A and B are shown apart, each in its own frame.
Chain A
Amino acid sequence: MPKITYTDAAGESRTVDAEVGATVMETAIKNDVPGIEAECGGACACATCHVYVDDAWREKVGDAAAMEQDMLDFAFDVRPSSRLSCQITVRDDLDGLVVTTPARQA
């Protein structure tokens, strides 16, 4: 089972087991990882599951699609590594993925 590490804005990390096929957002909610709100429940409609993908993982995770870029306009402190975690699906080759949650969700 792939593992995902969520680091919060204060630097504290939590590593949890993730199911292949679930999203990085769902994995966080299921494991009570703080810092991800997911107000809309995963419809790519709110920008409250914003994360920064660790630089080492950016290429493998890929870039945000156009619709996701549009939603990121509503997020706080958007950076080149920004993604909405509801739009990242867990795969076996993402085992070890590290994401950081922003200081606040929008």
Chain B
Amino acid sequence: MRQFASFVRKEFCHILRDKRTLLILLVMPVIQIILFGFAISTDIRNIKIAILDSSQDNVTSYLIRQFEANKYFSVEKLVTSQREIDELFRQNKIDMVVVFENNFSRNIVHDGKASVQLIADGSNPNTATMAVNYASSIFMDYQLKIAQNMNGAASVSQFAAESTTSDIGGTTSVAAVTSSGTVTIIPTVKMLYNPQMKAAYNFVPGVMGLILMLICTMMTSIAIVREKEHGTMEVLLVSPVKPLSIIISKTIPYLVISFINLITIILLAVFVLGVPVSGSMSWLLAISTLFIFVSLSMGMLISTLVKTQAAAMLTSGLVMMMPGMLLSGLMFPVENMPWILQFVSIFVPARWYISAVKTIMIEGSGIAFAAKEVYILLAMAAVFITASLKRFKNRLE
């Protein structure tokens, strides 16, 4: 026991003295969460728009207020001419322009139809599409409210100003206000669990999986192989210490670091990104512990297969990280993959971990709903541990 303790202490010394690696290990999850959360976010905020209001009536000013109140838009400027628009686009000051036609409110009242033009900066197709979608939904809301008011026989004055109340009658059932003037109904997508399609819900479990794999599999296998590469393993083997306890003592510091990372990620997710832990915290930790064991045993297995640190890094990168990133459902949904990749993904531990975390943490379901994942991870841990024990040698060759 004293031997084991001194081994673990020595291992902590190695890690604590390698300040650069330690910093990377502790800061990486923070950076990844922040990067994914803000920089690489697929949510689009602060779409800068300008408005050209040729009509200047009550309906348009109502709609402009809606844009101003919307958190996705920030109205940068009210412009008066087409030339100004071109200038703003060229200076890259705006992402989209909303152009109301002349006599906007009168056209609604008389024809039940008015047109608005949405000009978006197509050089960033992602933002452009989102902007157009968000804007269209503002117009949809408006026409919906009008329709409701008609049915309820109430006055439109609330929305479209007093001056036009006289002849609204009950004639216009739908006031279509859309881009380019055609009647299009934008389908409403209802997202379960992630109503705003917030990317954070998707990647928090993914980042947890990636970081744990990185630390447990890659760092552990590198640390063990380093002893072989530096020749210290030779000296350690020629001692009364059981070779297995050498290996196990090397995993303990990484176990500690991965728990620190796990807690960091959960805290950041909850307090910075606002992703709640909807389900049981203890089950979340239990499943993460299980996944840590799977990754550690994978790291041990890799360390018995390779001779150099570079090979350990490549192998764990190839076997764990790449599939963990590409095939686990973190980037692309598993259901959409061709069957062969779906089959391969069955053997990717991260897939099951990420899925279990989504079930527990995001959906807030009970552990019963993640039972399949838990069993698969348990089986994987058993296989990897058995294999690495089998592969483990008491000698050099």
Pair from one complex: no
Give A residues with C-beta under 8 Å from B. Answer: none
